[in-house]
Homo-oligomer: A and B are copies of this chain.
């Protein structure tokens, strides 16, 4: 079967192999570790590279066509977040806080996953729409804002209920409000969004020509940098493997089934909106991915009552590997079909001619 072959060939890329290697290194309790300064710098670098690339593409192709996909992505992200919440709260019996935290973690997007997706497409000789970097930036805070708003509403409601029975304290409602606005500020000025948007604008301004002297650093080193980052991601995922047992069967299933559904819906919707084969894969990946770098930073302040071990572990330990190893090739196969190629092999031939 072609999808299996695609999964298998994806499995044998340096990115996936070094991720698996990192997991193994952690499991055998090796002291291997990418120094903190490097692993803190790499996401900034990756986002700058993604942004510059996206900005340059947008300059070449115009961004009028961006509006619809952007709005659809926001709409889907909100819809999915609410859907996640219902499933987690009703079927999963998670408490209010954990449900919203998890719902938004999966409604949000993962920049690292996006990087891996870009590199996967590059391997397949396919390109994607540049404005998807902008969609990535805008989608970052959307799900969090919704979830935080909803959590605060629910908490205020609980509070009001309490107040009616006893003498309420006004202060806490005020605290809730400051919290919300503070968190909104924070998540929009978070470094990921800021560097991504900034780089898109700069990429747009400088164009391919202005990019030329920095292309060796911001383009040619891209895959190598991801590889280094994947070692660390693997190590961290490996260290959490024990925690995965503790997240329970329900959340484990959720962490695999939900991205699959969201991702496939994304690919199909993107195809309908007219995105290219590669663009549809990236659109699906945006919706499928869960946030594990931004999520803790935002949620720990916004919904401190939620257990970070749940949302970090499921996003990083289960969904991330699943997405980059299994779902990415599946979505690629689906996008190949929805874009009217009868088989992946056929496509490959054609792609061969393109590069």
Contacts and interface: CB of A to CB of B under 8 A. Distances in A.
Interface string A29-45: 11111111110110011
Interface of A: 12-14, 17-18, 21, 24-25, 28-38, 40-41, 44-45, 119, 122-123, 185, 189-191, 194-195, 198, 201-202, 205-206, 210-211, 213-214, 216-218, 220-221, 223-225, 227-228, 231
B37 A123 contact: no
B38 A198 contact: no
Contacts of A18: 198, 202
A206 B12 contact: yes
Most chain-B CB neighbours within 10 Å: which of A13, A32, A221, A228? A32
B223 A227 contact: no
Count chain B CB atoms within 10 A of each CB in A30, A40, A206 and give the residue with the most: A30
Given A30-B191, A36-B35, A198-B24, A221 B213 contact: no
A119 B14 contact: no
Which residue of A122, A195, A206, A225 has the most chain B CB atoms within 10 A of its CB atom?
A195
Closest 6 CB pairs of A and B: A217-B224, A37-B37, A35-B37, A32-B191, A213-B223, A30-B189
Nearest to A29: B189
Given A194-B25, A202-B21, A214 B14 contact: yes
Contacts of A45: 228
Contacts of A223: 213-214, 217
A202 B17 contact: yes
B217 A227 contact: yes
27 contacts: A12-B206, A13-B206, A14-B202, A14-B206, A14-B210, A14-B211, A18-B198, A21-B202, A25-B195, A25-B198, A28-B194, A29-B185, A30-B194, A31-B191, A32-B194, A33-B191, A34-B41, A35-B37, A35-B40, A45-B228, A214-B227, A216-B216, A216-B220, A216-B221, A217-B224, A217-B225, A218-B227
A227 B198 CA distance: 13
A220 to B, nearest CB: 5
Given A21-B202, A25-B198, A202-B21, A190 B224 contact: no
Given A21-B198, A24-B198, A225-B217, A210 B13 contact: yes
Contacts of A211: 14
A213 B21 contact: no
A218 B224 contact: yes
Contacts of A12: 205-206, 210
Nearest to A32: B191
A123 B336 CA distance: 42
A205 B32 contact: no
Contacts of A206: 12-14, 17
Given A17-B202, A35-B36, A221 B217 contact: yes
Given A21-B202, A202-B17, A122 B213 contact: yes
Contacts of A201: 21
A24 B197 CA distance: 12
Contacts of A34: 41, 44
A296 B38 CA distance: 24
Nearest to A191: B32
Given A37-B37, A221-B217, A28 B123 contact: no
